[in-house]
Each structure stands twice: as C-alpha cells, then as structure tokens.
C-alpha cells in the first residue's frame, strides 16, 4: 500500500526535526548569516503586508486581525519553502541538543548568528520600505497604522511582553513542526497559515517581526504624511524609540525562547526522543 501522500506521524516528525537540527547546528557561519538575513527580510515583508491588510479594512476588529495574520503568514511561508534561517523556528534545534546530537556551543552559535542576521535583514527591509514611500498610501493611513503597531509594542510591560512572546513562539514552532508532517509545498503552506494567523490575531509578540515593526515605526513617527493622518496632528506613542525597542525586544526574545524550546521542543523531545542516544558531541 502506497502511503507516500500521507502525513508523517508525530514520532516521525520528531526524528525529522532532530535531523534538521543537526544540519542547522553544523552549518557554516557564512551560510547561516546569509540565510538568516534572508529570513529577517522575509518576515519583514510579511509584516509590511499585514500592516497594509489591517489598514481601514472595514471588517471589524476580530476579522481585521485575522486578515492581518493570514497576510503575515507570507513571511514564514517564504522562510520554509524558499529556505532561510529564522531565530524563532530554530529554537526547535533544542531537540537535537537535548538528544546530545549537537553541543551547547553549536546551539548557542546558531542562535546568536541567526538572531544577528535576522536583525540585519529586518531592519534593512524597514529602510527599503521606508524609501519606497508606499506607506503614504490612503493619505498616510498605512504609515499611521505602522506607527500605532510599533507604539503599542513599546508600551508593553516586561511581564506582558514576555508572556506574549512565550505563546507566540509556541505557535510559530508548532507551525514549523506541522510543516515537517507534510510531503508537498501545499501541505507546508496550509500548515503554516493558521498557527501564524492565530498569533498575530491574538496580539502575541514575535522578536524578529518586531525587528521590522518598531524600527519602521520609528522612521515614520515624525513624517508629515503620517502626522497629517492623525486627528491631532501630533506623534503617536511616547515610548517609541530606542529604549522602547529594547524594552520590547528583551522580554519578547526571552519569551520566544521559552515558548519554542520548552513548550514545543522540550515536550516533544520528552515524549518521543528522551533516553540514551549514541554519538559524541562534534
């Protein structure tokens, strides 16, 4: 009986994620940086698409947020299908580490290089989108939406941002996990859309997306077209700046690590992969 069209079972997914983690952990530094810059740009493009989709949609609060989430899914679809290295998804490498297939040094090296590359890609894309001036569309309403999104993120308290980061990356890593169950590009795209749409609609926090959202909002907050779109003609968000960016990124990044490594990688490793493993560290 041909089962080539069937989805992989969860136990098989766990083994596939472990094997992918080994490959990612051993990847060369230049390759990691190059692919992580791409991932930062891909996520930023998804964020820009989501900002546009949520501007004056007329669908009401909930439906607008879901629409924005579906649009944002473009980012992870590009990462998974086109191939790139995303910090949040790479938290699943913890499964290979827990199985002693890669060392702590390789794990930390991957996370640091990918985080740096994601930042470069996301901020670089923010600059490019700013220079396109597409944010002036709808009489500056698109730019105003971007500023309000960024300002809301900078206004979050530490505990709130951390909790939102935990739940966000649980959903992101579940999306990546589900992709490993599929055998076709269509399978992977369908597996990605709803977990990603859910985290955006629910207002959870993604560190790499925020590497685009907040710097982009900082670039726009004093632009005349954006100020003209506000009722008061004044800037939006007193905390939107470098300090606000850092106050968001620190707890969100920590929350993303906890959500990805413990709630997804840790639980599935415990269920499917725990026990003595052969093979020394490399």
pTM above 0.85, yes or no: yes
Residue 282 lies in a domain: no
Tally of CA atoms within 13 A in the half-sphere of 226 that contains its CB: 23
pLDDT at residue 234, rounded to an integer: 55
Q: Pick from 278, 256, 204, 247: which is nearest to 94 by CA?
A: 256
Residue 1 lies in a domain: no
DSSP the chain: ---TTSPPPHHHHHHHHHHHHHHHHHS-HHHHHHHHHHHHHHHHHHHHHHHHHTTT--S-HHHHHHHHHHHHHHHHHIIIIII---TTGGGGGHHHHHTTSS-HHHHHHHHHHHHHHHHHHHHHHHHHHHHHTGGGTTTTHHHHHHHHHHHHHHT--HHHHHHHHHHHHHHHHHHHHHHTT-SSHHHHHHHHHHHHHHHHHTT---HHHHHHHHHHHHHHTT-HHHHHHSSSSS-S-TT-SHHHHHHHHHHHHHHHHHIIIIIIIIHHHHHHT-S-------
Residue 54 lies in a domain: yes
Tell me the per-residue pLDDT of 7-39, one tens digit each, with 9 for 90 and over: 899 999 999 999 999 999 999 999 999 999 999
Low-confidence residues in the chain, pLDDT < 70: 1-5, 232-237, 276-282
Give the Cα separation of 71 and 260 in Å (integer): 22
Q: What is the CATH number of the domain that holds 153?
A: 1.20.1080.10
Residue range of the domain that includes 252: 27-272
pLDDT at residue 282, rounded to an integer: 47
Residue 159 lies in a domain: yes
Residue 20 lies in a domain: no
Give the Cα separation of 176 and 172 in Å (integer): 6
Burial class (CB in 10 A: 0-12, 13-18, 19+), 79: buried
Number of structural domains in the chain? 1
Residue 5 lies in a domain: no
């Amino acid at each position: 009986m041909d089962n080539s069209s069937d989805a992989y079972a969860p136990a098989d997914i766990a083994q596939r994620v472990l094997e992918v983690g080994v490959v990612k952990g051993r990847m060369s530094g230049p390759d990691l940086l190059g692919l992580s810059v791409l991932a930062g740009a891909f996520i930023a493009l998804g964020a820009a698409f989501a900002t546009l989709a949520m501007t004056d949609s007329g669908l009401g609060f909930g439906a607008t947020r879901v629409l924005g989430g579906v649009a944002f899914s473009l980012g992870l679809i590009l990462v998974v299908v086109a191939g790139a290295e995303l910090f949040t998804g790479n938290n699943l490498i913890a499964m290979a580490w827990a199985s002693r297939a890669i060392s702590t040094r390789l794990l930390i090296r991957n996370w640091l290089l990918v985080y740096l590359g994601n930042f470069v890609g996301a901020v670089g894309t923010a600059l490019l989108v700013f220079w396109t001036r597409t944010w002036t569309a709808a009489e500056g309403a698109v730019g105003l939406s971007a500023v309000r999104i960024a300002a809301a993120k900078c206004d979050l308290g530490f505990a709130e941002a951390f909790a939102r980061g935990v739940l966000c990356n649980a959903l992101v890593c579940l999306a990546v996990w589900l992709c490993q169950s599929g055998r076709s590009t269509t399978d992977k795209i369908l597996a990605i859309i709803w977990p990603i749409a859910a985290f955006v609609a629910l207002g959870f926090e993604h560190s790499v997306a925020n590497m685009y959202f907040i710097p982009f909002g900082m670039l726009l907050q004093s632009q005349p077209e954006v100020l003209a779109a506000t009722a008061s003609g004044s800037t939006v968000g007193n905390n939107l700046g470098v300090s606000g960016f850092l106050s968001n990124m620190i707890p969100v990044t920590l929350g993303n690590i906890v959500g990805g490594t413990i709630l997804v990688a840790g639980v599935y490793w415990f269920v499917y992969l725990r026990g003595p493993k052969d093979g020394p560290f490399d």
